[in-house]
Structure 1
């Protein structure tokens, strides 16, 4: 694909900045303020930590979920391979219809203030999630939870739901006293996870220290500091100088140079993330599926991926990634700009319309610039809007956009959390509504037969793909890099590494 002047200039500027930063600091490699004797691990965070409320309105944000894994506990949690293990729950089982789930709670688990984690706290946290309409609440519409005994909770679903344990992988347990927004609590939260919050400031820096009362044993790192570093050059410079110990989401063109640095360890892993570009099907210009399909056909995603993501990107062939339960490959959309323009004309598309493409985070700027360039080549006008995360999230939910770009991960590893939660008529997340799709998603969520669930999600994906509810350009791999003095790093498929097993050599 030929680069547009805008995207080409930006790409050169970014690469030049990174190259200067890396070569200019090479003499200081392994140094920096996080010296090997401190026992502190410094993480260069890509995404802002908007809140420490994991069950709140922005609880699904990547930064918030990263913090939540360290501070709080869940009933169950996914391993790096997507299978589930107990956290606060030691066992769970459904009834014969998968409508009633019983969870047996771990004995002796405590919050960081020394108080016991009780069944009442689990129930109160679940009720709060629903009452404040947290990000994950749509997974439990009409569901109820009660305490059957001091060490058992029972979740009753409004309809059979085989995905309940997976959905609970993003539900965190708080003290029973936490109600409503309670902003004061989340400045200095109490959790039952491996770490406690030492400091959380307005700049987005989160400092964690071990929770001595954690049921799994206190982490060995003396401190973990997560610093917001949205700019690529800053993250990589901090890594090379030793000011940061762990970075991920590394662009392909920077991997060879990092791999040659003997002070660093590099690992790339398949992820649950897919580049997802929803169309706002409620917008007048985009109500016609033929228009949406033509816009998809007008973008040469294969060439864009080869140029920008040769190591960490693969052309997607489904709305969810291959590591997600419910993945079913679809027929790829063939790039054909001439056919796309003809299809738009035949569908009555008004070429004077200016579409709004919104995204957040500078790392995705060049990709979206390339998309805009291809659309402009066939006469489609696009305003590219790079927004701060909070504004992006607000506008996303308000449907204040025409095309919305997200690197959409799935921390539950189950399509119920993405397809089942985001594509129903009731969800109102992308302006698309199809009763036939709703039924398929409901049936897929209800059956306990895993093979049947995959089949039904495949049928649902066929509709989503064929109607071009969005464009699904790329399945993502995450590249991690960390300082050799840090051990216990397990790259996570969701970009949410677990700090609890990490430690600094010699500390």
Structure 2
């Protein structure tokens, strides 16, 4: 049922979409702005509101996508989650993993020709901390010092074996950039593969190769990332040639993409998990028995199978299978009768409504299905679809009862999700468990990877059994791109790198 409704809605949207694109594309030839010699156009799902990766909007998907093209990092994860050096050629901890030393690559320059030094790296880290951005929470009280132009030392307040992975979202800018410097990030200087040609916030970002890039300038001549939030517009642009790359394609559109001889389509496992936290500070949701009963009342297996047969699978842990720290848990069995009985026994007030908040229209039908299943046992839910800024503000203020997010993990390490979001001090979902805190702390500090996985598994078991949230689905990302584009690699976090891509024949 859900799939049929979704298909009809999308079909109607796609029929209307070409009119909006008229004048941008020559549909008869399939040649548009994306098919110029050596140029590619990317149809982006999320707006790029800022180019500052450590500013207030730095955690946004659009900003993170841009940051990977413009700035270098000390280390970066490969598609399989293993780390490789970027600015750093080597890194090692001391005996307690409270001090990490990074050796920097020689001869790296910013796009303006100035050398990248240890001072730039250390100043960028301080800027990250001072801005109190999303990633700063991974480094409470940590400091970084440049011991020379080619070496920096990070000092942690406690043993932390996950430091290299956490640095996967730490980007280096010139030391002169102030904590708040909006003007610099309109056309920033970086040491990544591209530089900014033109940037219109929330609309378009145009990139050109950085001739000073240490690994060699990209072979494409220009990359234009254009915001196209509507699915129908993105898919139409891809078919007509106005766009070269699209991802986040829903299952009921994959068949059409796969049958198009001009396109390459690939679905890859991701680090993302559909996550529906309960606000444990809400009186109605304080008891784990109530939260477990609500989870038991939703037929996630059927919902996922109907809406996401190719791009989803029933989750069996709070983190995805490709994340370090993943340990499978016992599936929650759908049983609405048992759920209603448990709620009644716990004294649940069926007359009061719960507030379920989410952002982004692509998740609307999934959440509607959840609300529908809860209604079958008499649980009333207000489904609140919010603009991203309002959603984020309310999320942090705990102004919700159930919160839906597609949580991805660009570090591929459970320290960035379990370790950052679930301790009492995080105050992210109203849940506090000292035993869980101890497990997460031990997992983050252990230098033994097998021990870390074991400890994160024990932490996951508590999170799962106490139903801190519902964890319905492990996500796969579906990508489609024009076959004239070579060297493009889908990314497990929905943050692809265009530096290795090239246009056939250009």
Q: TM-score, normalised by structure 1?
A: 0.96
Note the 1:75-474 alignment, pairs <5 A. Answer: 75-474=74-473
Q: Is the 8 A contact 1:30 1:263 kept in 2?
A: no
Cα distance in 2 for residues equivalent to 1:8 and 1:354: 29
Paired residues of 1:304 and 1:370 also in contact (CA < 8 A): yes
Shift of 1:372: 1.0
Q: Using the alignment, how far apart are the partners of 1:273 and 1:421 within structure 2? A: 16
The alignment partner of 2:499 has SS state of: helix
Say if 1:86 and 1:35 are closer, same or farther in 2 by CA, change over 3 A. Answer: closer
| Residue 10 (structure 2) aligned to one of 2, 11, 14 | 14
SS in 2 for 1:85: strand
Whole-angstrom CA distance in 2 between matches of 1:480 and 1:8: 22
Question: CA separation of 1:30/1:385 partners in 2, compared to 1, >3 Å: closer, same or farther?
Answer: farther
Are 1:305 and 1:313, in contact at CA under 8 Å, matched by a contact in 2? yes
Looking at structure 2, the residues matched to 396 and 51 of structure 1 have their Cα atoms a distance apart, in angstroms, of 21
State the match for 1:34 in structure 2: 33
- Contact kept? 1:421, 1:427, Cα under 8 Å: yes
Distance 1:67 1:354, change over 3 A: same
| 2:42 corresponds to 1:46 | no
Pairwise mapping of residues 456-495 of structure 1 onto structure 2 (< 5 A)?
456-495=455-494
* Cα distance between partner residues in 1 of 2:387 and 2:203: 13
CA displacement 1:11-47 (0-9 Å, x = unmatched): 5323433367599999937624225343211111111
CA deviations 1:126-170 (Å, max 9, x no partner) are: 111111211001111121111111110000111111111000011
- Does structure 1 retain, via aligned residues, the 8 Å contact 2:122–2:146? yes
Taking structure 1 as reference, are residues 61 and 398 closer, same or farther at Cα in structure 2, changes over 3 Å only?
same
Ranges in structure 1 where 5+ consecutive residues have no aligned partner: none
* Deviates further, 441-450 or 125-134: 125-134
Deviates more, 1:179-188 or 1:111-120: 179-188
CA distance in 2, matches of 1:17, 1:57: 34
Does structure 2 conserve the Cα–Cα contact (< 8 Å) formed by 1:444 and 1:457?
yes
Report the 3-state secondary structure (helix = DSSP H, G, I; strand = E; otherwise coil) of the residue aligned with 1:499. Answer: coil
Deviations 1:67-102 (A, max 9, x none): 110011100000001110000001101111111100
Structure 2: state its 5+ residue gaps. none
Summarize deviations over 1:214-265 as a string: whole Å, max 9, x none. 1111111111111111111111001000011000111111111111100000
Listed one character per residue, the Cα deviations across residues 443-484 of structure 1 (whole Å, up to 9, x for unaligned) are 001111111000000000000001111110000111110011
CA distance, structure 1, for counterparts of residue 241 and residue 64 of structure 2: 25
Whole-Å Cα distance in 2 between the matches of residues 10 and 254 of structure 1?
10
Root-mean-square deviation (CA), in Å? 1.9
* More moved, 260-269 vs 387-396: 387-396
* Paired residue secondary structure (2:51): coil
Task: Please give the alpha-carbon distance, in whole angstroms, between the structure 1 residues aligned to 2:197 and 2:387.
Answer: 26
Runs of 4+ in 1 over 4 A off after TM superposition: 7-11, 19-27
Greater shift, 88-97 or 279-288, is seen at 279-288
- For residues 401 and 48 of structure 1, the distance between their equivalents in structure 2, rounded to whole angstroms, comes to 24
Distance of 1:53 and 1:285 partners within structure 2: 40
User: Normalised by the size of structure 2, how large is the TM-score?
Assistant: 0.96
